[in-house]
Amino acid sequence: MLDHEQVAIHAGRRSRLPVIVAVHSTALGPAAGGLRLWHYPDWRDGLTDALRLSAAMTSKFAVAGLPIGGGKAVVALPEGMELDADRRRDVLRDVADVIASLSGVYATGPDVGTSPADMAVIGETTPHVFCKPTDLGGSGDSSPHTAQGALAALRAVSRRLHGTSSLGGRSLAVIGLGRVGVGLARLLAAEGAVLTVTDIDLDKQKISDELGAVWRSPDEILAADVDIVVPAALGSVLTSRTAADLRCRAVVGPANNQLATPDVADLLYQRDIIWVPDYVASAGGVINAISTELHRVSADEARARVRAIEDTVDDLLDTAQRCGQTPAQAASELARRRLSAPSPAKHRFTWPDASLLARTGGRQRVRATRRSTP
């Protein structure tokens, strides 16, 4: 049974590539989520990614207390396909067409394989886009804010493990040195953390040298003897097998969909390994973008909202301990309560500007027609 309000699947008019937009929920407000431009063995794998990621976005916004619903866009590239500049622009214009057809139910931002410059191209067709470059009125690259949010989550876990939020002298294994991973690794190095790092791109080893970190292969790093493992690449890194190999005390990082299957959270709990749900630890980027572009708060207030992830994780860990739950269960229950809270009658409307949200106190609602495209 499909647990989504809308799933739009189009063959791009220009690119002929599969463009997938999954709107999971608009219970709290119009949906938002990143655009993932990635290679898949089959386009249906891209659909699976969009469904999982959009559901995680619903939870991410709900736990963060934002009046936004969850969605995701995916363009499924065949393996081995490389896009030149013209073909890439065609793909982005195809994505913009699909988003525009949803009439404000969904807005997109950058994700794996896309950037603020790509959002500018989409913004030529539809206003339902965020994280455009700052010189075009957007909030720019979200990765530094995602890294700051992950750092806040790590501080909360450090306090739980060691009685202090300081990460100086703590050993952490960072998996993935993309924009978010390398930003987070640099923040950790500045705090005096002892780092082990990896990436599938061997050229990233020069970053390891720059940080004074130990380099491990992707196959080895999960079993590293460290305080905290920090997933910062693609998802499904935590399986029943890898969970058994872990030698850390916690897993906290910004990668999406870290669990291959939901039961892995229980396996980690049984091993007394803290796992902070990825949709909590990775929320900094969207919190900043929504706060600055939709709520129009100051940069200082947006940063404070990102830093508040530390308090959110503290509360979730307290709740989990008090109720004998996993942190994943505590976060899921919090999201469920917020999504099911009584609300005024909902109606369909275009993606809100700052004045709408200001007048409604962030309580404006949207309803999308439940529809799927086979």
Residue 346, exposed/middle/buried by CB under 10 A (0-12, 13-18, 19+)?
middle
Q: Are 81 and 104 in contact (CB under 8 A)?
A: no
Q: Residue 283: helix, strand or coil by DSSP?
A: coil
Q: How many CB atoms lie within 10 A of CB 24?
A: 28
The residue annotated as part of the active site, out of 60, 72, 132, 204, is: 72
* Distance from C-alpha of 80 to C-alpha of 207, rounded to nearest angstrom: 26
Residue type, 168: G
What is the distance between the alpha carbons of residues 47 and 6, in angstroms, rounded to a whole number?
13
Q: Which residues pair with 372 in a beta bridge?
A: 7
Task: Tell me, yes or no, if 206 is annotated catalytic.
Answer: no
How many Å apart are CA 91 and CA 283, to the nearest integer?
A: 27
Strand (E) positions, the chain? 6-11, 18-25, 31-40, 69-78, 106-110, 171-175, 194-198, 214-215, 228-231, 250-251, 274-275, 371-372
Half-sphere exposure for 232 (CA within 13 Å, toward CB)? 31
Residue closest to 3 by CA, chosen among 55, 38, 53, 48? 55
- Which has the closest alpha carbon to 57: 26, 88, 89, 78? 26
Burial of residue 64 (number of CB atoms within 10 Å: 0-12, 13-18, 19+): buried
Residue type, 60: K
Look at strands 171-175 and 228-231 and give their pairing: parallel
What count of other Cβ atoms lies within 10 Å of the Cβ of residue 60? Answer: 27
Which residues are identified as catalytic?
Answer: 72
